[in-house]
């Protein structure tokens, strides 16, 4: 090799070594340079959210086989990666454990990698300057503090402590409403005088980042609370209306732009102890954020796609909450409704809350269940029908197998009674409720429960189940009066074609239905049992006579013939198939037992009870109505000088 070639080779090697050295040096100096150039803007919620998204994306997508890990370390990292991917998916379904896991990881990323500390955390939320905090900031801090002490009862405790669930006049309104305002949140925050530690501040920041990344925006923590439900997009002005009102004048448009007029994305409501309360201080911010929440909140168990052609979805969440989502063009705006059922509180004692006469009322309800009476629970939406149904199920004998048919899973009885023989079926897109009921008939069930009789086919299932599929049936319905209940069930059977004659259909209903428990929710949200009504089928009597044979004159024979003809046409055109009467009523804030149960129902109820319950039932009857053969007035009513409800025909 010549000298020139050797020199050239040495030069190439030196250049290569210099390039490698320069690259290594640049990599080492890069973090130092980044730390030097950090400013306050780095610690805003937006930039931290972007960082969290990027890091979690890197962790879940990294190829572990390219890193050169040992077998043990590779297995550990794979398990951690799988656990994170599972949690990121599960937290969007309402799983509080997955949510907790993801939030803890975000907390570590911000504290250890992003460098959030006591000095710069106020760039995200101005904790040290209360005057700069928004109402949502203050609410998030309040919920965090209360949650440390009360857990998922935090919102309930906050509302009760400051009487937030009271009627009030807002912004010059002429009528009172249930609303929690920004001024109230500001006053509460000042009253509480909260001083958060750094860990507390970072936890609040983590929650804010999480709810806009994987959570449900401003309702994320509210949804987890032990309340009756939460909804969004159900008030305010949809964006689609803005173009329609452009011609009404510039002032209105300016008010909308300045957020003086609520938009649909400013609509957040909670359902709390029978009251719908608007959270005027919370907002989704934009229509896009409301849309994101609606598109994610119903996704548990892959119920199908919410599209313009299929504009609604009914599903449940991971924690058992029922969720309904609607979208344009079926609805005027995106909206969702989450209904929660607190199974721990679903007892009759909790439902009646110790009002006068509640002990005897609870005892009566227990006997209706133990006596295997076919019973409906009626009332408007939100009056507590499902909660009452859960409380009644507690008194079904352990030896009886329970079969439940629902549109969407709501009762979740196996969570309350994990050792009992319970199976719940529901409709799907490919399996009808009728097919589900046919399957239930072959599953050795004793008690059939239908979550809600809201459609004509479901009403037919109920009648079928009560006649042949089980020992007795419990169901809920939205009827306002007992005649309305009978008429609605009758019409449902006519509409689906099971019967062509009104009287025949109605006869089937009254022969099946024993009792109706009607619940009411008053203007102030108080829920109570308005009445318990017994259905008494009218036995057909033969009123025809042969008296015409004894008449001597033709005129007399015609008179007797027309008497029989009158009876015939009366039965044909105006036949009374049932009468009904109230055996319990809510009068002046007290539950009063009034008319006695019929002898036929008492006899059948005793046959279905064990010896101890039958003896207690006899004492209950004697205490309220004396001898069972006596059809009279309840003793409690006589003592108070009130007139009982008479039998209604």
In this structure, the dihedral spanned by the alpha carbons of residues 635, 638, 639 and 645, taken in order and rounded to 10 degrees, is 90
DSSP summary character for residue 315? E
Q: In this predicted model, what pLDDT tens digit does every residue of 113-128 receive, in sequence order?
A: 898 988 889 889 999 8
Residue 630 has a pLDDT of 40
SS3 47: helix
Determine the average pLDDT of the residues in 449-475.
Answer: 78
> Average per-residue pLDDT in the chain?
82
Nearest to 624 by CA among 632, 610, 614: 632
Q: pLDDT-derived band of residue 22, with 50, 70 and 90 as boundaries?
A: low
The pair of structure tokens assigned to 611 is 């010896």
Cross-strand pairs, 527: 521
Determine the average pLDDT of the residues in 511-527.
Answer: 86
Would the pTM count as exceeding 0.75? no
Residue 179 has a pLDDT of 92
Residue 632 has a pLDDT of 39
In this structure, the dihedral spanned by the alpha carbons of residues 619, 625, 631 and 635, taken in order and rounded to 10 degrees, is 180
Half-sphere CA count of 649, side-chain side, radius 13 A: 4
Q: Which residue has the higher pLDDT, 3 or 7?
A: 7
Q: pLDDT-derived band of residue 649, with 50, 70 and 90 as boundaries?
A: very low
Residue 540 has a pLDDT of 65
- Extract the runs of DSSP E, i.e. beta strands, from 461-503: 472-477
Residue 172 has a pLDDT of 66
Q: How far apart are CA 224 and CA 91, in angstroms?
A: 12
Nearest to 218 by CA among 229, 205, 207: 207
Residue 34 has a pLDDT of 36
The pair of structure tokens assigned to 310 is 């299929």
20 burial type by CB count under 10 A (0-12 exposed, 13-18 middle, 19+ buried): exposed
The DSSP element (H or E) to which 587 belongs, if any, is: strand 578-587
Q: pLDDT-derived band of residue 250, with 50, 70 and 90 as boundaries?
A: low
Q: In this predicted model, what pLDDT tens digit does every residue of 217-248 receive, in sequence order?
A: 999 999 999 898 999 999 888 876 665 555 55
Determine the average pLDDT of the residues in 296-309.
Answer: 88
Residue 627 has a pLDDT of 62
Long-range contacts of 236-245 (CB under 8 A, 24+ apart): 236/261, 236/262, 236/263, 236/264, 236/265, 236/266, 236/267, 237/261, 237/262, 237/263, 237/264, 238/263, 238/264, 238/287, 238/332, 238/333, 239/263, 239/264, 239/287, 239/333, 240/328, 240/332, 240/333, 241/332
Q: Which domains does the chain have, with CATH numbers?
A: 134-140+159-195+218-340 (3.30.450.90), 344-538+578-640 (3.40.50.300), 541-575 (no CATH)
The pair of structure tokens assigned to 584 is 């319990």
Say if residue 136's pLDDT is above 60: yes
Between 233-247, 272-286, 529-543, the lowest mean confidence (pLDDT) is in 233-247
Q: How far apart are CA 220 and CA 213, in angstroms?
A: 11
The separation between CA 19 and the C-alpha centre of its own chain, rounded to angstroms, equals 65
Most confident of 278-282, 320-324, 351-355, 509-513: 278-282
Most confident of 4-18, 100-114, 341-355: 100-114
Residue 223 has a pLDDT of 92
Q: In this predicted model, what pLDDT tens digit does every residue of 361-370 receive, in sequence order?
A: 999 999 999 9
Determine the average pLDDT of the residues in 514-531.
Answer: 87
Between 75-89, 400-414, 511-525, 537-551, the lowest mean confidence (pLDDT) is in 537-551
């Amino acid at each position: 090799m010549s000298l020139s070639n050797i020199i050239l080779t040495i030069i190439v090697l030196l250049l290569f070594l210099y390039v490698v050295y320069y690259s290594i040096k640049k990599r080492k100096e890069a973090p130092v340079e980044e730390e030097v150039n950090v400013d306050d803007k780095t610690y805003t919620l937006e930039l931290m959210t972007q960082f969290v998204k990027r890091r979690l994306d890197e962790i879940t997508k990294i190829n572990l086989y390219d890193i050169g890990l040992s077998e043990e370390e590779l297995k550990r990292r794979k398990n951690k990666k799988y656990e994170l991917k599972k949690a990121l998916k599960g937290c969007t379904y309402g799983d509080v454990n997955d949510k907790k896991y993801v939030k803890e990881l975000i907390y570590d990323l911000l504290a250890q990698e992003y460098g959030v500390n006591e000095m710069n955390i106020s760039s995200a939320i101005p904790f040290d300057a209360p005057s700069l905090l928004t109402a949502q900031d203050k609410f998030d801090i309040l919920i965090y503090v209360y949650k440390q002490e009360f857990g998922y009862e935090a919102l309930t405790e906050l509302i009760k402590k400051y009487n937030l669930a009271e009627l009030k006049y807002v912004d010059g309104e002429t009528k009172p409403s249930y609303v929690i305002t920004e001024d109230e949140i500001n006053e509460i925050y000042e009253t509480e005088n909260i001083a958060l530690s750094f860990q507390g501040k970072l936890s609040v920041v983590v929650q804010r980042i999480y709810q806009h990344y994987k959570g449900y925006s401003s309702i994320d923590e509210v949804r987890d609370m032990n309340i009756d439900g939460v909804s969004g997009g159900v008030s305010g002005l949809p964006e689609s209306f803005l173009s329609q009102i452009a011609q009404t004048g510039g002032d209105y448009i300016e008010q909308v732009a300045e957020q003086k007029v609520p938009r649909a994305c400013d609509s957040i409501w909670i359902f709390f102890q029978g009251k719908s309360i608007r959270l005027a201080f919370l907002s989704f911010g934009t229509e896009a954020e409301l849309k994101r929440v609606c598109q994610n909140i119903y996704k548990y168990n892959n119920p199908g796609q919410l599209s313009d052609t299929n504009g609604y979805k009914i599903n449940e969440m991971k924690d058992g909450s029922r969720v309904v989502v609607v979208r344009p063009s079926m609805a005027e705006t995106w909206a969702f409704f989450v209904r929660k059922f607190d199974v721990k509180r679903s007892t009759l004692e909790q439902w009646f809350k110790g009002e006068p006469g509640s002990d005897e009322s609870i005892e009566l309800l227990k006997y209706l269940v133990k006596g295997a009476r076919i019973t409906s629970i009626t009332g408007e939406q939100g009056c507590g029908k499902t909660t009452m149904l859960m409380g009644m199920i507690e008194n079904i004998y352990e030896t009886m197998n329970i079969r439940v048919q629902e549109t969407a899973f709501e009762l979740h009885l196996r969570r309350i009674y994990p050792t009992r023989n319970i199976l719940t079926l529901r409709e799907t897109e490919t399996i009808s409720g009728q097919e589900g009921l046919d399957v239930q008939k072959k599953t050795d069930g004793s008690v059939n429960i239908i979550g809600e009789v809201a459609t004509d086919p479901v009403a037919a299932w109920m009648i079928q189940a009560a006649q042949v599929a089980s020992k007795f049936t419990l169901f809920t319905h939205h009827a306002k009066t007992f005649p309305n209940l009978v008429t609605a069930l009758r019409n449902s059977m006519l509409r689906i074609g099971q019967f062509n004659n009104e009287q025949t259909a109605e006869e089937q209903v009254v022969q099946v239905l024993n009792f109706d428990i009607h619940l009411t929710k008053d203007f102030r949200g108080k829920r109570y049992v308005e009445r318990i009504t017994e259905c008494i089928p009218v036995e057909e009597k033969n009123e025809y006579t042969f008296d015409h044979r004894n008449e001597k004159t033709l005129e007399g024979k015609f008179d007797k013939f027309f008497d029989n003809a009158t009876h015939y046409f009366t039965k044909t055109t105006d036949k009374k198939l049932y009468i009904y009467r109230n055996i319990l009523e809510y009068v002046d804030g007290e539950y009063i037992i009034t008319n006695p149960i019929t002898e036929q129902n008492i006899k059948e109820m005793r046959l279905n009870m064990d010896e101890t319950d039958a003896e207690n039932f006899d004492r209950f009857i004697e205490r309220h109505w004396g001898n069972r053969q006596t059809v009279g007035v309840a003793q409690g009513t006589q003592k108070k000088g009130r007139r009982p409800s008479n039998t209604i025909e």
